Amino acid sequence: MSEKTTSSEIKPLLVRKVSVQNDFLKLQTDKTDHKKTSTNEKTGTVFGAISNLTNACMGAGILALPYAFSQIGWFFGIIIFVLVGIISWGSLELLMLSSHYTKQYTYEELAKHVIGKKMSVVVKITILSVTVLASTTYLIIIGDSLPKVFESFETTSNSILTSRVFISLIAISVGILPLSLMRKMDHLKFSSSCSFLAITYLLIVIIMNYSKMDFKNVKTYAFNFDFLKFVTVFPIFIFADSVHIVSVNVIKDLKNASVKSISTISVGTLTSCNCIYILASMFGFFTFGEKTPGDIIVGYSKNGITIIIARFVLTLMAIVSIPIFIFVTRESINILFFKNKPFSWKRHIVVTVLFCILITVLSLTLPEVQFISALTGSTASMITLFIVPGFLWYKLKRNEKKNRHKILGLVYIIFGFIVMFISTTAVIYNHILKKKKS
């Protein structure tokens, strides 16, 4: 993506004005005071950013997406993946470029700077909802997966090692909390790389355990489409690509931030994630057909060695993913309540511990991964992926009477609100029906 800047676009004002134009966006921002981070403090790389964003993006989505394919068919599933991927890429790159040029390094601050204070309140609530629900989902995965690993070796199901409460507390205290107490998100790039390897292994296991079907069944499963089922599972696709709130934070630590590097990060993240998503969804769906479970790993035999290892690496992936969301939450809290105060280890630890306690309680009380993924996708993810970027598109070149960015922004906003209302209603209604049947 090329960057073009002309002298006529930069007009002398009482405040600093930045104008950037490329094939997809022209961003104008006013800022009187930018807090600069010294170059020595910025150690982030493109590889580290892609690793962290991929880690934050993948996880619960890969478990629930085969179920989504079973509800609408693999042909429509692939089409939706492509469409959601393109939309996600556009809004993701826009957010990161906006963060880079406005020097706003949290999603909330960027929304406040571009959209205004009133809208930023909604964004703050949304960010908190996304980080809490996403972290809770990962902790549910840990509580579901690791006990089954120990059950494979235990003769009794009453062992403490198969207790969901015990496993969750151990995962929090031994793995999640130490990683979350690091000061910079970029320090997690190595653990995030391990998470990507874990997801890759999980994909291999899904493909290896694929039960071969004849061509007739595969063709039949291509067009298994129902509108009610579609609006119920569509949020799962949205949730799977929802990495936007984390994307703004990685720009802060990026050593050599540029349009090219940001484009590489956005394309690299979503391409790698969606390729793995599509393969896992198709092979998982082909294995179980219409009986595909909401958590794909639940459907496999607990005694197979490859499945035991898959559950274990899935647990490790969840453990290293939660700290990324804790970083986002903690950064937001610091800006909201302690903006002008120096770093404090005491505050750093207290906020982290309280967040861990909250998600532990929620993980032991909320329902399955599939429902949380769909509910998060239909509400908070719609706001962060469609509505807020839509307002940002609308603000670009806002002084011109006719421009494609304003129209695109309105499309994002209207589509986001309509889909959010329909999908949320469908998800809750479908969940209630399932509870009545069970």
Question: What is the pLDDT at residue 41?
Answer: 61
DSSP string, 258-269: -HHHHHHHHHHH
pLDDT of residue 260: 82
Looking at residue 321, what is its pLDDT? 81
Residue 90 three-state SS: helix
Is the distance from CB of 50 to CB of 221 less than 8 angstroms? no
Q: Give the number of other CB atoms < 10 A from CB of residue 337.
A: 10
Alpha-carbon distance of 13 to 18, in angstroms, equals 11
Which domains are delineated in the chain? 45-376 (1.10.4160.10)
pLDDT at site 39: 40
Work out the burial of residue 288: count CB atoms within 10 Å of its CB; fewer than 13 is exposed, 13-18 middle, 19 or more buried: middle
Tokens 């909320």 correspond to: 366
Per-residue confidence in pLDDT tens, the chain, 438 aa:
333 333 333 233 222 333 333 443 444 444 434 444 444 466 677 887 887 787 777 766 677 888 888 888 888 889 988 888 888 888 888 888 777 777 777 777 777 777 777 777 777 777 787 788 878 888 888 887 788 777 777 555 567 777 788 888 888 888 888 888 887 766 666 766 777 778 888 888 888 877 655 555 566 677 777 777 888 888 888 878 877 777 777 777 777 777 788 888 888 888 888 888 898 888 888 888 778 887 777 777 666 788 888 888 888 888 888 888 888 888 878 877 887 788 888 888 998 999 999 988 888 887 666 677 777 777 877 888 888 888 877 776 555 555 666 777 788 888 888 888 888 888 888 778 777 776
In this structure, what token pair is assigned to residue 10?
A: 């930069």
Q: What is the pLDDT of residue 33?
A: 40
- Supply the DSSP string of 312-354, one letter for each residue: HHHHHHHHHHHHHHHHHHHHHHHHHH-TTSPP-HHHHHHHHHH
Q: CA torsion, points 265, 269, 272, 277, in degrees to nearest 10?
A: -170
Helix (H) or strand (E) holding 304: none
What does the block give as tokens for 307?
């499945």
Q: Which residues contact 400 (CB under 8 A, 6 or more apart)?
A: 406
Of 65, 87, 93, nearest to 77 (Cα)? Answer: 65
pTM surpassing 0.85? no
**Residues sharing a CB contact under 8 Å with residue 187, sequence separation 6 or more, in sequence order:** none
